Amino acid sequence: QQAYVDEVQRSIDAHPSQATLLKKYQQVPVFYWIDSMSRIANLTAVMDGALAQANNGSQQIVVQIIIYDVPDRDCSAAASNGEITCADAQCAAGIATYQTKYIDPIVSLISQSKYSKLTIVALIEPDS
């Protein structure tokens, strides 16, 4: 993911004495965490960056994303509460919001035919 590579490069620029070590991290695969609905918009840049890599080389590109905005995630533990809440025991409204405003837009984006040459790994709610 180019944004990660760029972030590591800024660290290298700020800490040139650590450049050898930090450059190793530019090659480490990372997951893009989608922990709020607002981060879905950034997923386009992630996917387009991966597609550009795939189009410029012969290796398979894997896009790794974390789906992380389940209603009342972390059981209201206050560590990383989500933005979608359950108003009642059935959580009907929360689940509807999760489906229509979070999951559906992600699926719509990653299933576009232009991304068909990419392998997409989605880790769903790793600690909710």
Alpha helices in the chain (DSSP H): 2-14, 19-25, 40-55, 92-97, 104-110
The tens place of each residue's pLDDT in the chain, 128 residues long, gives: 667 788 889 999 999 999 999 988 887 878 999 989 999 999 999 999 899 989 998 788 899 999 999 888 766 555 566 788 888 889 999 999 999 999 999 999 999 999 999 999 999 987 66
Distance CA 70, CA 34 (A): 11
- Report the pLDDT value the prediction gives residue 57, as an integer from 0 to 100: 82
**What is the spatial distance between Cα 41 and Cα 70, in angstroms, rounded to a whole number?**
18
Place of tokens 């559906």: 104
Let me know if 13 is a catalytic residue: no
Q: What is the pLDDT of residue 63?
A: 93
Strand 32-34 vs strand 119-124: parallel, antiparallel, or unpaired? unpaired
Q: Please give the pLDDT value at position 75.
A: 62
Residue with tokens 């576009």: 112
Judge if pTM exceeds 0.85: no
State residue 79's pLDDT score.
59
What pLDDT is attached to residue 64? 94
User: In the Cβ-directed half-sphere of 100, how many Cα atoms lie within 13 Å?
Assistant: 6
